[in-house]
Amino acid sequence: MKIPYYIGGITKTSSSGTISLEQFVTSLQEPKDSIVSLFEAIAEASKLGDKKLKGKLKEQLPFFTVSAEFEGRRKYDNIKEFNPIAQLDFDGLTEGEAVEFRTYLFEQYPQIICSFLSPSRKGVKALIRIPKIEISKGVEKGIKEYKSYYRAIETELSNYKGFDSAPKNLALPLFISHDWFMLSRSFEDTKEWDLQEFEEDSLTQEFPLPIKPYRKLKSNDNNEMRAYRTVRKSISYIVSSPGHFQLRSACLIFGTRSGAGYVDYQDAKREVEALVRANGYLKKGISGYIKTALWSLEEGYKTPSYY
């Protein structure tokens, strides 16, 4: 597997060469001094409010296209090989949330090859393993297959704060970052994400999902039960730290379903409080966790999400 890299700014359309997945991980975890110095200069320019200088410095950052190799210019028609990797982006987090979520994402999903902080330190980026798409099928069919995997990934991970679906464009640049504490596992030890559209019957939950996706249902009664099943399963999987983060995610989503009218708000409040009290791990700090649950529910309620 070869990952193209580009040096010369975002206008660079042809790769400068390729590296292995292992070299990619090393380049972020053990960056060259020149890259570290460049990031320090960008941070200083940002602190001074010098957008022009910051922009010029950022243009010097190398970037990658992790999902495909290209013959010539970086565009769909020129794909010569698909890599069994998709890129994930989560933006708009606080620095504390990013550090916490980097670990949570890696530990919760065995399909994650590596997770690391974004250059701003206020986001998380990750690579996720998908099945190998054979170029022999043709570029057009290969792109459709890639996007079907990404839709399934999006269905699951868009429930998290800051999820950005832009990487469904597999030609999207992934700019180099630096994270000495990034988490990674070998490609061989990474479980393959093989779902292409979530179907309830096709799920094999060998690992805890914070949200269980279900097939779309028409009845409001069915949607109510769907919302209850999701939050109950999500909270039942909370058995270790970070408890507040996992609880917040589950209750925010349940709140969006309540805001959509599927679950009465007062019933939803009673439900999450009961789930916290019944959870062996959460009841150790019950007052704090109930506060987190109710706050998250209320925040989710403000932004309804419909099935």
Greatest CA separation found in the chain?
59
Q: Which pLDDT tens digits describe the chain residue by residue (307 residues)? A: 999 999 877 778 889 999 999 999 999 999 888 888 988 888 888 888 888 888 788 778 889 999 999 998 888 889 999 999 999 999 888 888 889 899 999 998 999 999 999 887 888 999 999 999 999 989 999 999 998 899 888 888 887 888 888 888 888 889 999 898 999 999 999 999 877 643 333 333 332 333 333 233 334 457 788 888 889 888 888 888 788 888 998 999 999 888 888 888 888 898 899 889 888 888 888 888 999 999 999 988 888 887 7
CA-based nearest residue to 14, from 109, 80, 107, 89: 80
Question: To 5 degrees, how large is the angle CA 8–CA 179–CA 126?
Answer: 80
> What is the structure's pLDDT at 125?
95
> What is the structure's pLDDT at 191?
93
> What is the structure's pLDDT at 135?
94
> What is the structure's pLDDT at 210?
36
Burial grade of 171 (CB within 10 A; 0-12, 13-18, 19 or more): middle
Contact 246, 202 (CB under 8 A): no
What residue type is 212 in one-letter code? K
What residue type is 164 in one-letter code? D
**10 Å Cβ neighbour count for 16?**
11
Helix axis angle, 51-58 to 33-48, nearest 10°: 160
Contact 67, 80 (CB under 8 A): no
